[in-house]
Amino acid sequence: MAVSVRRPGDGHSRVVGGDVPASPGRMEAFSDGVLAVAITLLVLDLRVPEPGGAAGLGHALVALWPHAVAYVVSLAAIGIMWINHHAMVHRLAAVDHSVHVLNLLLLMSIVVLPFTTALMSTYLVAPSGGHVAAAVYAGSLLVISAVFLALERHLLVRRPHLLREPLSRAQVRAILFRAGLAPPAYLVAGAAGLVTPYLTLAVCALLGTFYLLAPRSSGEAEARPTSPSTEG
């Protein structure tokens, strides 16, 4: 059955066969909830030291540094994903079944991150297992970034009719280039873990800092339509 999608502010409709597009609002709300749960679960790895230790509370708190560092790096990774996901959704006028499926795969990969973070922080200073833990941690971030890149490409290349406004090739390239930097960087982070797991955390922290501080290109900025509901 063919249905039509009407873009906001556009008097024309686009016919889409076989699938009924839905509002992106529900997908964004559900995704925000899942991301909020995942980012909250990260803090559960920061456990209160048991009282009565011979070394004292101060020493016990200092000993938590691997958990604190892994917590910050992973929180930044989920936070960056939330920012990018928000920008992606606000380019959309509608979503279809394929978008929902890819988005669910993205969320499924994100909710594993609290486990891999705890694994990384636990084995970071352990006498053995650190290299494997680092590879698993970097691998989980690699999967997240790869699925997000696939989702972005699917929307921009295969489902451009779901966008609020058409994008130029330069804008599409700018968005995909920025998203495409993460998978190879996490691949490097995983390989670095074979040398020492500390390098894995360092590469992941540097990548997170880049995404937090590096300004978006002009093409990306122009690709984010202004929504009346989000204007202050």
Contact 4, 14 (CB under 8 A): yes
Is 4 among the domain residues?
no
Closest to 156 (Cα-Cα) out of 142, 170, 141: 170
Residue 60, pLDDT score: 86
Residue 20 has pLDDT above 60, yes or no: yes
Domain-embedded: residue 2: no
Q: 3-class DSSP state for residue 15?
A: strand
Q: Tell me whether residue 180 is in a domain.
A: yes
123-153 burial string, b = 16+ CB within 10 Å, else e? bbeeeeebbebbbbbbbbbbbbbbbbbebbb
Residue 224 has pLDDT above 70, yes or no: no
Q: Tens digit of pLDDT for each residue in 137-193?
A: 999 999 999 999 999 999 999 999 999 999 999 999 999 999 999 999 999 999 999
Domain count across the chain: 1
Number of Cβ atoms within 10 Å of the Cβ of 214 = 10
**219 is a domain residue:** yes
The pLDDT of 92-120, averaged and rounded, is 97
Q: Is 8 a domain residue?
A: no
Task: Tell me if 1 is assigned to some domain.
Answer: no
Residue 194 has pLDDT above 50, yes or no: yes
How far is Cα 128 from Cα 193, in angstroms, rounded to an integer?
13
Q: Report yes or no: 164 and 209 within 8 Å, Cβ to Cβ.
A: no
- Decide: helix, strand or coil at residue 139: helix
The CA-to-CA distance between both ends of the chain, in Å, stands at: 40
Q: What is the pLDDT of residue 83?
A: 95
Q: In this predicted structure, which of 113-117, 182-186, 224-228 has the lowest mean pLDDT?
A: 224-228
Residue 106 in any domain: the answer is yes
pLDDT score at 55: 76
Q: pLDDT, tens digit, for every residue of 72-94?
A: 999 999 999 999 999 999 999 99
Query: What is the residue-averaged pLDDT of the chain?
Result: 87
Q: Give the structural domain span for 64.
A: 23-230
Q: Indicate the pTM of the whole model.
A: 0.84
pLDDT value at position 153? 97
CA distances from 221 to 84, 93, 95, 155, 175 (A): 12, 18, 22, 17, 9
The region that residue 18 occupies, defined by phi over 0 for left and psi between -120 and 50 for alpha, beta otherwise, is left
